[in-house]
């Protein structure tokens, strides 16, 4: 029995939350290791829908849920999300929830800066979630972040606030904004500190204990490989590493702990925000995918851009992230199409490419080469076993795994937790 690391293999919103929730009942701990509340994970259990942005998806099954050091944490959002979940009957307490004391905080000044930059960029904007993720990671790497552990030492915060505010006041002045109101910030931190500190601890120690006891850990990635700050469609990316390797650094366990890497892959492609998208469909088919797949962002409510499955991108993501097997999600959204298409390569200025090049201009210029297959008229929606799938849908799955050079471990056929087909158990690997 090993650990499992779940990552998104496209541009996010692949259905990670649903799969993590499904796997969580068999895990002893679920750990978030990067990103923040830019994530939006929707879980459907019977009649109830849960929307999580910051808390690990394991919290709904009551599994020990941990926010690792690699996450950037907005304390006010944390409070809100806990209250919302508690109102839905989910238990969140110091027994089943912990936060790394070394997490960098997202402050109101980070949200301000995110918004100011996006507004100033006009049509060149990244299309961020506006939650201050990028500015918070910048301050962490710039060694001027306020961290969770600082909340227990607010009387000694003055030198750190000096450094942080000197930096932000200069940036704010450039945007014609007033300096940071330090007194107000300190008062807000004093007010929120007890909420965060109730869960704060050296989680690496807790995880060491969990691991020693032979327990199974499920690492829950946010976003997707194509939004990774190194490997994604830079600069239209998020500000963290979203690849599987981050699970170790972002939680305080060694690289051998990541175990089976489960890449979550949507049966077609979506993207929210700006940036290149080779198989994007601006026509009725794209519209149909969006409607059938209910492709609206959980965090911002923005319409997601939709297109055919891009095997080139997913093959690249699987290689970069060392994916052991994939969970293919939203197969049901393709039900009823006469023909379906898969992108198998790109054309760029007369050359054929089998990968997405690094330069933004090249990424924007590549033209997809498609392979067309017959669709299926039967339904996959709600299927819970391989035998329930139409033969042509199985052909599609087989062609996908062949092209991405990675086997399918799970298939998801609806938002509902139990509408999931297990092909190969990641925990048994
Ligand atoms: P995440 O960010 O990767 O967790 O994905 P999101 O939750 O943002 O987006 C995935 C959406 O698709 C959610 O609304 C899920 O409820 C839904 N979903 C997940 N798996 C399936 C599936 O197999 N079929 C359908 N139709 N919807 C799914
Ligand atoms: P989950 O975990 C889809 C996108 C934003 C924007 C870019 C940078 O639900 O899959 P940021 O606010 O992170 O600085 O925005 O990244 N983005 C996501 N897209 N799913 C997500 O998370 C995302 N988190 C960020 O739309 O293009
Ligand atoms: Mg999402």
Question: Domains in the chain, ordered, with CATH?
Answer: 4-100+200-260 (3.40.440.10), 104-196 (1.10.300.10), 265-428 (3.90.170.10)
Q: What is the pLDDT of residues 395-412, one digit of tens each?
A: 999 999 999 999 999 999
For residue 1, pLDDT over 80 is answered with: no
pLDDT value of residue 429? 80
- Is beta strand 217-220 parallel, antiparallel or unpaired with respect to 351-353? unpaired
Interval 60-84 mean pLDDT: 97
Interval 111-124 mean pLDDT: 96
Q: What is the pLDDT of residues 274-314, one digit of tens each?
A: 999 999 999 999 999 999 999 998 778 889 999 999 999 99
Q: Which of 53, 71, 134, 227 to mutate to test the pocket of ligand 2 (most atoms within 8 A of CB)?
A: 227
Interval 130-152 mean pLDDT: 98
3-state secondary structure of 193: helix
Q: Atom 10 of ligand 1 has which residue's CA nearest to it?
A: 15
Active site residue 13: yes
The angle formed by the CA atoms of residues 8, 10 and 14, to the nearest 5 degrees, is 55
Which residues have any ligand 2 atom within 6 Å of their CB? Answer: 8, 11-13, 38-41, 126-129, 131, 133-134, 222-224, 227, 238-239, 272-273
Q: Which of 39, 42, 50, 298 to mutate to test the pocket of ligand 1 (most atoms within 8 A of CB)?
A: 42
CB atoms < 10 A from the CB of 138, how many? Answer: 15
pLDDT value of residue 266? 98
The angle formed by the CA atoms of residues 401, 34 and 100, to the nearest 5 degrees, is 135
Q: Is the pTM of this model over 0.85?
A: yes
Instruction: Dig out the tokens for 138 from the structure.
Output: 């910048």
Q: What is the pLDDT of residues 340-389, one digit of tens each?
A: 999 999 999 999 999 999 999 999 999 999 999 999 999 999 999 999 99
**What rounded mean pLDDT belongs to the chain?**
97
For 15, 337, 374, 397, 413, the CA distances from 327, given in Å and listed in that order, are 9, 21, 22, 11, 11
Phi, psi (5° rounding) for residue 362?
A: -65, -40
Say if ligand 1 is within 6 A of residue 13 CB.
yes
Q: Which residues pair with 362 in a beta bridge?
A: none
pLDDT value of residue 300? 80
Residue with tokens 């490997």: 231
Please give the number of the atom of ligand 2 that sits closest to the Cα of 40: 9
Please give the number of the atom of ligand 2 that sits closest to the Cα of 35: 13
> Distance, CA 250 to ligand 1 centroid (Å)?
25
Q: What is the pLDDT of residues 262-272, one digit of tens each?
A: 999 999 999 99
Q: Atom 8 of ligand 1 has which residue's CA nearest to it?
A: 13
Say if ligand 1 is within 6 A of residue 417 CB.
no
In which element (H, E) is residue 52 found? strand 48-52
């Amino acid at each position: 029995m090993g650990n499992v690391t779940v990552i998104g293999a496209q541009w996010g919103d692949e259905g990670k939350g649903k799969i993590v929730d499904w796997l969580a009942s068999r895990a002893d701990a679920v750990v978030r290791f990067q990103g923040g509340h830019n994530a939006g994970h929707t879980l459907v259990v019977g009649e109830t829908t849960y929307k999580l942005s910051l808390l690990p998806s394991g919290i709904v099954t009551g599994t020990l849920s941990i926010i690792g050091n690699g996450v950037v944490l907005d304390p006010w959002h944390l409070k809100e999300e806990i209250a919302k979940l508690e109102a839905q009957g989910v238990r969140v307490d110091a027994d089943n929830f912990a936060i790394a004391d070394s997490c960098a905080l997202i402050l109101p000044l980070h949200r301000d800066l995110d918004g100011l930059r996006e507004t100033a960029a006009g049509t060149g904007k990244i299309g961020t979630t506006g939650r201050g993720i990028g500015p918070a990671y910048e301050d962490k790497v710039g060694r001027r972040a306020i961290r969770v552990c600082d909340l227990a030492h607010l009387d000694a915060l003055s030198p750190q606030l000096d450094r942080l505010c000197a930096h932000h006041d200069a940036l704010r002045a450039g945007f014609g904004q007033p300096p940071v109101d330090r007194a107000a910030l300190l008062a807000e931190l004093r007010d929120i500190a007890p909420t965060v500190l109730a869960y704060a601890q050296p989680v690496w120690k807790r995880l060491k204990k969990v691991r020693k006891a032979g327990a199974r850990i499920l690492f829950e990635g946010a976003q997707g490989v194509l939004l990774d700050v190194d490997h994604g469609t830079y600069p239209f990316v998020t500000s963290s590493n979203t690849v599987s390797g981050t699970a170790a650094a972002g939680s305080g366990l060694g690289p051998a702990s990541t175990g089976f890497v489960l890449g979550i892959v949507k049966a077609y492609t979506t993207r929210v925000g700006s940036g290149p998208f080779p198989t994007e469909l601006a026509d009725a088919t794209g519209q149909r995918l969006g409607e059938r797949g209910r492709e609206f962002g959980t965090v911002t409510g923005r319409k997601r851009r939709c297109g055919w499955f891009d095997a080139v991108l997913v093959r690249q993501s699987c290689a970069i992230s060392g994916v052991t097997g994939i969970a293919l999600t939203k197969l049901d959204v393709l039900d009823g199409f006469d023909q379906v298409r898969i992108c198998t390569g790109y054309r760029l200025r007369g050359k054929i490419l089998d990968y997405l090049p690094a330069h933004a201009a090249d990424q924007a210029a590549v033209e997809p080469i498609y392979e067309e297959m017959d669709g299926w008229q039967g339904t996959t929606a709600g299927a819970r076993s391989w035998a329930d799938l139409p033969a042509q849908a199985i052909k599609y799955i087989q062609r996908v795994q062949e092209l991405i050079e990675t086997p399918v471990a799970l298939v998801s056929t609806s938002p509902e937790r139990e509408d999931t087909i297990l092909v190969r158990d990641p925990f048994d690997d």
